[in-house]
Amino acid sequence: MFNLPSFRIGRFFGIPVEINTSWFIIFLLVAVTLTTSYFPATVEGLSSAVYILMGALTTLAFFGSVLLHEFAHSLVARAGGLTITRVTLFVFGGVSQMEEEPRSPGHEFVMASAGPGMSLVLAALLYIVAAFLDAAGAHDAVLACVDYLWIINLSLAIFNLLPGFPLDGGRVLRALLWGITGDLLRATRWASRMGQALGVALIATAVLGVLLWQTLDLIWLAVMGWFLSTLAASAYQQQLVRAQLARVPLERIMSSPAALVPAATTLEEMAHSYFLGGRHSRYPVVEDDRVVGLVDLRKANQVDRSLWPETTAGDVARHDLADIVALPTTSVDRILPKLDPNGPGAVLVVEDGRLAGIVTRADVIRLVRSIAEES
């Protein structure tokens, strides 16, 4: 998300919803365009205050439509057994973040189709509402807002159905190629190339618009084209790395034996003996020879420094460990969601009931770097 911070606005259907700081850029641009250009040209003679209200409410409704589009993806994915960590609105729309890739071509096909399907349903419903309001003699200002919303939802559906990965249409294409070839990586490569080609086509269209018609109205096509081309290339590289990580078991990269922290160790001692002098920022906490938690530097930093001499690792450790335990034979790609910055950040590797080692984000980063150097 351009490395900009996001903040949570709530949970819907049990899924966290976040707004990335970059979203305010596009919100302002859309609202200003509607207020100063689109609505004054569509409905003449209204006051500035009315145009501002129309622009703000319509922009909010539009991004509400984007949110419904993303939730359609998320709910279908969740129905298929995938975990959705969050839905985020950002400068180019929205994205549903999943812990893993779809498990079959059919699941990906249905999941990718759900978003554009929702946008088409919204467009149809809003078109019907617009026709009803027109017949009822509603004010032109209301009709202009509803007309814009059904048109923009239809446009959103059509654009997302373009066959370039990672657009929804590109995911549909990948699902079809995956089903035909049985090879997810190859399908991703072909669909990503389509995405890059589509991005270049959008940029070329914008350039021709500037050169032939001396108009800057198509500049957004160039921005979207660049964004799509960049994302397509990045998506394939991520899939390539994930495919390689799928061949590496945890026992190859885990730190073993794991450095253990007695529960009675104070945060003051941890700062000097573990966080500063150790290899990781997270360590298993033991009590009576039993792992009872996981302590990390972030948790420690949440405690006032003056309390470190009297606060123990056991006091601040994460004690719910069931979801961060894995076998030595588990492939690295399966634990990536657990290494999310907002998650536990480490996995405990257990064999025959005993702690065999620990894998942290730093271990996986080193592996990814070694893969990049070899390729």
Alpha helices in the chain (DSSP H): 23-33, 39-42, 48-79, 105-135, 140-160, 168-181, 184-213, 219-245, 250-253, 267-270, 297-301, 313-316, 361-374
Q: State the catalytic residue, choosing from 70, 99, 101, 269.
A: 70
181, 187, 189, 192 alpha-carbon torsion, rounded to 10°: 150
- What's the token pair of residue 88? 């985020």
Q: What is the DSSP string of 188-220?
A: HHHHHHHHHHHHHHHHHHHHHHHHHH---TTHH
Query: What is the spatial distance between Cα 236 and Cα 176, in angstroms, rounded to a whole number?
Result: 17
DSSP 136: T
**Any catalytic annotation for residue 374?**
no
Overall size of the chain counted in residues:
375
Helix (H, G, I), strand (E, B) or coil at 266: strand
Q: Per DSSP, what are the bridge partners of residue 17?
A: 10, 87
SS (H, E, C) 311-371: CEHHHHCECCCHHHEECCCCEHHHHHHHHCCCCCCEEEEEECCEEEEEEEHHHHHHHHHHH
Q: Which helix (H) or strand (E) holds 167?
A: none
Q: Treating both helix axes as pointing N-terminal to C-terminal, what angle do 219-245 and 184-213 enclose, rounded to 10 degrees?
A: 170
Query: What is the spatial distance between Cα 22 and Cα 4, in angstroms, rounded to a whole number?
Result: 7
Main-chain phi, psi angles of 284, to 5 degrees: -70, 140
What distances in angstroms separate CA 270 from CA 77, 108, 277, 294, one per listed residue? Answer: 41, 46, 9, 13
Do 60 and 34 form a contact (C-beta atoms < 8 A)?
A: no
Number of C-beta neighbours around residue 278 at 10 A = 15
Residues catalogued as catalytic = 70
